[in-house]
Amino acid sequence: MSLKQDYSELISEVMMCFGDNFGALASPTLSKQETVTILYKSIEDFLKDSSKKPAFPWKRLFEFIPRLLLVFIQVSYASFRFRIQEIPSNAVIFRTWLVPRSFQKDGLADDYFRQLPVDLARVENVLISFTSTDLSLLKQFGSARRSNNQIMSYGLLTLFDIIRLFLDYIFTAFIQTKKRYKLDGKDITSFINHSLLLDYLELRSFEAYTEKYKCKKLIQYNIKAFIYVFENQSWEKVCCYIFRNKGIRIIGYQSSGFSPVFLNFFPSQLDSEIHPMPDILLTVGNHFRSYLRENGHYRINIKTFAAMRFSYPSVNGVYQIDTPYLQVIGRILYAFPVQFEQYEPTIKDLISVFKDSKIQVDLKFHPLYQLNDIKNILSLPDNFSIVNEVNIDLLSKTYDCVLFNDNSFGIEALLKGVKSYQYCKNIAFLDDRYFYFDLWKVNFSLDDVSQLKEKIENCTYDKTFSPQAVSRYINSMYHPYSQKSFNQFIYLLK
């Protein structure tokens, strides 16, 4: 068993020791949300160097009350501004996220389920419930043209609900383990308790508490089904816990990609016994379904559904692959993941390779971030640019290749006829997205990137690949949405 597996099993034991404690259920630490908590990485560093122990987070302690007050204002604003007076009985709720890409020229759009709730609204009472506490996004939501069935989830809560919610959080969300835990022979209890403390002080557990109160409201409205974006996070488990045995169909949909670094997607055997789960989990394709089954313990049925966020051309249920454009252009794209801590070191690596070259390097940041969040991250050379949008249809005639780490864009590039590669400086790929891929070398070290630069400069870079082989791979990863998919979903609601 690997160190990471030992760690996963250990955190499952910690969760087990808290029993029915709601604060434990709400904890991202105990749901192994490593991209949020970075607990495993800190423990791994400690095992290599025993001097790297967690310091008490005094700054976060002093920031706790201001942060809590700010969130109170945000939740209260969303509640009063978008108050929901009534929900039709037997409604189907799509719980989704309000993100910058939700705002389209022709109005508000759900970026996760897209066409499915639109089609389903012809035969069911459908509500698309958006969630965010970002004030700028909430203001945009208020001014956006919305359909009658597009609501803000915080509008379910009254002032009395909000007060109860915050008191509940203040008095029950802070948890600590009294037992001692060792990993690889070293006591790591202080790291676990430090992460649990940050769950509380940084309000990482707060989303789960809000879902507790929102779901209780939805039960009062006698809803038929609750469909949500599945990542097996703490707030999702709370939803499943609250809706359990209430006659409500709970469907999780794996919308976004994931990698082995997302431990929350791979519950242990103990997790599968104690964690609430949906009635069924739908995936975007066969490879994702297989990977979840092979690497996680699920007591629920996992079915291939459709890639709702894809709008690429398909014929007879098969995505079409563009023919590669073979002329060397002298331009590459790096697509970043959601983990913000990777941005600066990765950009420094790219600068070290390309700064004195004639190759143009475009940086595509994750869509959850707005330009103001990251524009001052580093001073960039003249041949580097930050791109807000990429014309996906012209990808092959714009870029020679795509470098990426831990996101789906590199896989999507294949659809448009562009080779892509996963970059990690030390080649220790904890975040592999190329499940079951064997068509060419995809894991690039810094030396590989340097060789790539030389080949592009010398016009010897090989851009060819077999569209047929890539088609087989892509269509195993992702399944197009169709009338058949819709009929399948209707059946699942029965």
CATH code of the domain containing 447: 3.40.50.2000
pLDDT at 259: 83
pLDDT grade for 388, boundaries at 50, 70 and 90: confident
CA dihedral sign of residues 363, 414, 111, 304:
negative
pLDDT grade for 102, boundaries at 50, 70 and 90: very high
For residue 94, the cross-strand partners are 128, 227
Q: Is residue 434 part of a domain?
A: yes
Higher pLDDT, 410 or 183: 183
pLDDT at 261 over 90: no
Q: How many domains does the structure of the chain reveal?
A: 1
pLDDT grade for 425, boundaries at 50, 70 and 90: low
Highest mean pLDDT among 222-236, 344-358, 438-452: 222-236
pLDDT at 282: 98
pLDDT at 210: 98
pLDDT at 257 over 60: yes
Q: H/E element holding 165? A: helix 159-172
Average pLDDT of the segment spanning 120-149: 95
pLDDT at 344: 81
Average pLDDT of the segment spanning 372-401: 82
pLDDT at 408: 82
pLDDT at 370: 54
Least confident span in 180-189, 310-319, 411-420:
310-319
Name the percent of the chain in helix, strand, coil, to the closest 5.
45, 15, 40
Residue 446 is part of which domain span?
331-477
CA 380 and chain centroid, separation: 28
Provide the whole-model pTM.
0.91
Average pLDDT of the segment spanning 195-222: 98
Least confident span in 20-34, 45-59, 262-276, 354-368:
354-368
pLDDT at 329 over 70: yes
pLDDT at 100 over 80: yes
pLDDT at 367: 66
pLDDT at 295 over 90: yes
Which is it for strands 420-423 and 360-364: parallel, antiparallel or unpaired?
Answer: unpaired
Average pLDDT of the segment spanning 478-490: 95
pLDDT at 369: 60
pLDDT grade for 194, boundaries at 50, 70 and 90: very high
pLDDT at 163: 98
Average pLDDT of the segment spanning 184-203: 97
pLDDT grade for 375, boundaries at 50, 70 and 90: low
pLDDT at 136: 93
Q: Is residue 25 part of a domain?
A: no
Higher pLDDT, 319 or 426: 319
Question: For residue 108, which of 157, 76, 152 has the smallest C-alpha distance?
Answer: 152
pLDDT at 36 over 80: yes
Q: H/E element holding 301? A: strand 301-304
pLDDT at 426 over 60: no
Mean pLDDT, the chain, integer: 92
Q: Is residue 402 part of a domain?
A: yes
Q: Write the CB contacts of 114 (distance below 8 Å, at least 6 apart in sequence).
A: 308, 309, 311, 481
pLDDT at 73: 96
Average pLDDT of the segment spanning 393-422: 92
pLDDT at 468 over 60: yes
Q: Is residue 204 part of a domain?
A: no
Which is it for strands 331-335 and 318-319: parallel, antiparallel or unpaired?
Answer: unpaired
Question: For residue 419, which of 312, 322, 320 has the smallest C-alpha distance?
Answer: 322
pLDDT at 373: 52
Higher pLDDT, 98 or 381: 98
Phi, psi of 38 (to 5 degrees): 55, 30
pLDDT at 342 over 90: no
Q: Is residue 7 part of a domain?
A: no
Average pLDDT of the segment spanning 289-312: 94
pLDDT at 429 over 60: no
Distance CA 63, CA 381 (A): 36
Q: Is residue 445 part of a domain?
A: yes
Burial class of residue 285 in the structure, from the number of CB atoms within 10 Å of its CB (0-12 exposed, 13-18 middle, 19+ buried): buried
pLDDT at 410: 86
Average pLDDT of the segment spanning 153-175: 98
pLDDT at 303 over 70: yes
pLDDT grade for 365, boundaries at 50, 70 and 90: confident
Q: Kindly write down the DSSP assignment for every residue of 319-358, as one continuous string.
A: EPPPPP--S--SEEEEE--S-GGGHHHHHHHHHHHHTTSS
Q: Is residue 119 part of a domain?
A: no
Q: Is residue 218 part of a domain?
A: no
Average pLDDT of the segment spanning 184-209: 97
